Amino acid sequence: MMMNNRKYDAVLFDMDGTILDTVPLIVESFQHTFMKHLGHYEDEQKIIAGIGLPLETVFADYSQTDRDAMMKTYVEHNVELLPTHIGLFIGMPALFEKLKQAGIKLGIVTSKRLSSAMGSIEPFGLEHYFDLIQAKEATTKHKPDPEPLLHAMSELDVSDPKRVVYVGDSLFDMLCARNAGCYAAMVDWTRMDKNQIKVWKPDFWIDDLDEFYNWVVNQ
């Protein structure tokens, strides 16, 4: 029987800003919500810095009483613009296909609600690549807490966090991986503060998808 000498069993991906170019849509949805409920726009960099947190957490910082109404406004506006304001980062489907052929388990771990997550990936036909699509509802704690990754590992029947890579674009993704004991790979196309992320020394900085594939499969 041939032994599996591969270092990693699973690669898990954040979705927004990592697989899909959704950051402009997210910013627009937040600004629409802030103007409607608060009467002003918010600093764009502040909005971007908070991407990756659940909507409840973000809007609770602005208003406890209007939080649910703000979430409703955000989701309705986001869904309305989704078909024309979202893109897929070049090369991702090919990467998924190669990793699957190499026997790597693939998953998405996102802070979005499942309906929103599926509504984002289904237009691109990506869902069949993944052994797991895990959204906000799956856990009680969220990034940067390790629970989302630990839960995903359990669902994929992977017990050793050192055999898991989490790919993301934000500091929340970076810290979630660190807290779970997984390896962290950050994408170079992030719109977040790269220097802030690099302080935490990601295990791999993805600026070439072929190099990342080789790092995962051929170590």
Which residues carry out catalysis?
Answer: 14
**Rg (the chain; Cα; Å):** 17
In three-state secondary structure terms, 51 is: strand
Euclidean distance between CA atoms 165 and 162, whole angstroms:
8
List the alpha helices (DSSP H) in the chain: 23-38, 44-49, 55-60, 67-81, 92-101, 114-121, 147-155, 171-180, 194-198, 209-217
Q: How many CB atoms lie within 10 A of CB 186?
A: 28
Q: How many CB atoms lie within 10 A of CB 55?
A: 24
